[in-house]
Amino acid sequence: MQLTKTILLAALMGTSIMAMAQTDKNSIDDKQNEKQKKVKKSEADFKDTEVNFLFNYYEQDGDHSPVTGGRGTEKLENIAPTFVVHVPMDSISSLDLNFGIDIYSSASTDNIDIFDGNKSGASSMDVRMHINAAYNRNLLNSGNAYSLMAGFSAEYDVTSFNFGGAYTLNSKDKNRSLSIDALFMNDTWKLLYPVEMRSRDGFIGLKDDTRTTMKFGLSYSQVINKRLQALFSLEVVSQSGLLSTPFHRVYFDDAIAKEGMALKPFSNVEKLEDNRLKIPISMRWNYYLNDFMRVRTFYRYYTDSWGISAHTASIELPMQVTSSLIASPFFRYHTQTAADDFYEFGKAKNPEFYTSDYDLSDLSSIKIGLGLQYSPIMGVGNFKSPFRKNKQAQFKSIGLRTAYYDRSDGLSAWLVSLDFAFTF
């Protein structure tokens, strides 16, 4: 089944300690990395293949499932093993690969067939497979760089692919950079409706089974001084096609009047506008307070054509506990207004567009957690490389990141991520 809610919430929770180029490596301390670089190595050592194995566990619960019209369980569990591989191809180019699976069980999506006494349970558990690749190249003459990327994912009812690119202009002293990026995504859906809709006479489903997304981004980063770095970014995201979820129910006000009766004749399939424009604007400030602690702050303002406006702010304090261990407590706060077409259970009065998905409601949330990174200067351990003759491989570091997420509508979640880093 579709993993949209899992992916959105997992993004809020920071589901991976490390991902592709867009991920902020919050659990890794730059000063410690500099110490590692000072260890004498040959030129070949700087071209090692880096492999990270990530294991993420995510669990949530709540009582506002859109599958049952804004009422009902949102219980979900997700296990996501992932490999992130960085392969230097030569001194100026590299290849990044990110591939893995999501194995999840959801009481919420199992309720697509809530009125079927012989539920198969097929929608209660599913597997999503994904792979992304990026080719990166530095341009020696100009000092600039570019990347080309593509990806694919598939699960029971959604198949997706994406491709895009980025170009970065760097100043001669490498203290300033301007990046421009673009991404195209296409999702193709198997339109799976609630069980009562499939047998309803005269039922007309959603007109589209594909969704296209185009993203354009602009970011500027600068080293202001020895202690302070800043990054500003602007994105414009345009979506069109199937923006409704076919198995999300919405109950109009006539269902409230007949609560003593079976509700299934009164449900409707979620219907949202088939175009959406999103504009997030964000900034990051990283300040080196002293040799022991850094301060990382983030702020984002978001607005879209559906009527949502949001503010997100976070702070993280990476601390050098020992020469090998970094602890990074963090806190994040988010608040947003409701979409124009959001309705609670039984509140809609036959509008043109409607949803009872609380992701689009007026809400606030907090996320609090801790990251730990154990990264000795000489690595956790060394062993013979299985891929290169007479070459030592290294078990570089172990990362742990855990977080608790709580939302004002009652949804709460836990996340635990493990990161094992190797070089070959």
Chain segment 263-314, per-residue pLDDT in tens? 556 789 999 999 999 999 999 999 999 999 999 999 999 999 999 999 999 9
> Rg of the chain over CA atoms, in angstroms?
24
Q: pLDDT tens digits, residue range 58-108?
A: 999 999 999 999 999 999 999 999 999 999 999 999 999 999 999 999 887
Say what the pLDDT of residue 260 is: 55
Q: Are 328 and 318 in contact (CB under 8 A)?
A: yes
Say what the pLDDT of residue 253 is: 87
pTM: predicted TM-score of the whole model, two decimal places: 0.86
Say what the pLDDT of residue 45 is: 44
Q: Are 63 and 72 in contact (CB under 8 A)?
A: yes
Say what the pLDDT of residue 116 is: 66
Write down the residue that tokens 């990054």 correspond to.
231
Say what the pLDDT of residue 14 is: 40
Inter-CA distances, 165 with 122, 323, 376, 421, Å = 37, 38, 35, 26
Say what the pLDDT of residue 136 is: 98
In the chain, the amino acid numbered 347 is K
The rounded Cα 111 to chain-centroid distance in angstroms is: 25
Q: Which domain holds residue 295?
A: 4-423
Say what the pLDDT of residue 7 is: 42
The answer to whether residue 33 scores a pLDDT higher than 60 is no
Q: Are 149 and 134 in contact (CB under 8 A)?
A: yes
Short-list 275, 273, 272, 188, CA closest to 240: 275
Q: pLDDT tens digits, residue range 116-166?
A: 655 544 456 889 999 999 999 999 999 999 999 999 999 989 999 999 999
How many domains in the chain?
1
Q: pLDDT tens digits, residue range 201-213?
A: 778 889 899 999 9
